[in-house]
Amino acid sequence: MAEMARTKSKDLASQSFANHATTDSPKQIIPSGEGPFLMASQLTLDQIQHLLDFEYRPEADIHRWILEEDLEQGSEKEQAGLQGISILAKSRLQRLHDRDCKVLERAEEAADTLLIDRMIAHNQHDPLENIVIAKSDQIFFHSKNSQLEITGFPDRAVGIKTKKGEFFMLLVVRTATPVYFDDALTQLILFLYGSFDALCKLLPDQDKRKTFGFITDAVNFRFALIGPDRVLRLSKKLYWVKDEKVIAAYINYGVKNVLLAGCRATSEL
């Protein structure tokens, strides 16, 4: 089960999305309960597979995620604004890449720009409700046997807030430098599995559970999905300059088929 640390809200990036809550970063690590706890950043992929009881074999076809979407299909998608990144977002990204700043700062701003652009596009046609965007908040997971607690800080976590005030993550972003891309991917996988297992409390029907996320350094992107079968699927590494439309398609998928679908499934909770 996952638990999100709570802090006061602030605007994330755009007044156009000001109706969605965001949270500040906690200043220190505080375990949510008594007993041993582990830092996500210190765990290997083998260790998190053991702790959360799943299997991932990179060479197996079942773990490959190739998004089959016709990017040249018809005017309907274009008119809905759901196929490509908006001109405004592209302009922001270009200015960001031209600016002299740290890699992680650039990666966070790129992720914010793309996420908000796609969420605004979907919000115009199929309104999102009860969405919370958490910025670098501390989260806690329990291992499968509940004897250990794991804590970490995803750079962005987007989820739903129920009428009871509980927060459940559906979409996670992890930023990285090129050197530590694989290490950050390990943490992303941990956050996605922890979030997926926490959804059992909210969605008893496993067929409705999905979690989605991506890792980026603002130039390279890699996407991950855990579907109702609790199997991890990963895209290949995508390059912004060459794969812009494919990157947009993956983010569209996550917003529409994971985040928005989760909102619908929990609208009465």
Are 239 and 219 within 8 A, CB to CB?
Answer: yes
What pLDDT, on a 0 to 100 scale, did the predictor assign at position 201?
A: 83
What gap in Å lies between CA 246 and CA 260, rounded to an integer? 20
**Confidence class for position 229, pLDDT limits 50, 70, 90:** very high
**Confidence class for position 248, pLDDT limits 50, 70, 90:** very high
Task: Label residues 173-193 b or e (16+ Cβ within 10 Å = b).
Answer: bbbbeeebbebbbbbbbbbbb
Q: For the CA atoms of 112, 182, 255, 98, what is the dihedral angle to 10 degrees? A: 30
Are 184 and 174 within 8 A, CB to CB?
Answer: yes
Which tens digit of pLDDT belongs to each residue from 170-215? Answer: 999 999 998 888 889 999 999 999 999 989 888 888 888 999 999 9
**Confidence class for position 268, pLDDT limits 50, 70, 90:** low
Angle at 80 between CA 214 and CA 219, to 5 degrees: 30
Average pLDDT, the chain: 80
Which tens digit of pLDDT belongs to each residue from 110-149? Answer: 999 999 999 888 877 766 667 888 887 888 888 887 778 8
Which tens digit of pLDDT belongs to each residue from 10-23? Answer: 333 333 333 444 44
Percent of the residues in the chain that have a pLDDT greater than 90, as a whole number? 45
**Confidence class for position 35, pLDDT limits 50, 70, 90:** low
Is the model more confident about 155 or about 36?
A: 155
User: What mean pLDDT comes out for the span 81-102?
Assistant: 84
Is the model more confident about 89 or about 24?
A: 89
Q: Which residues contact 15 (CB under 8 A, 6 or more apart)?
A: none
What gap in Å lies between CA 43 and CA 29, rounded to an integer? 16
Burial of residue 10 (CB within 10 Å: 0-12, 13-18, 19+) is exposed
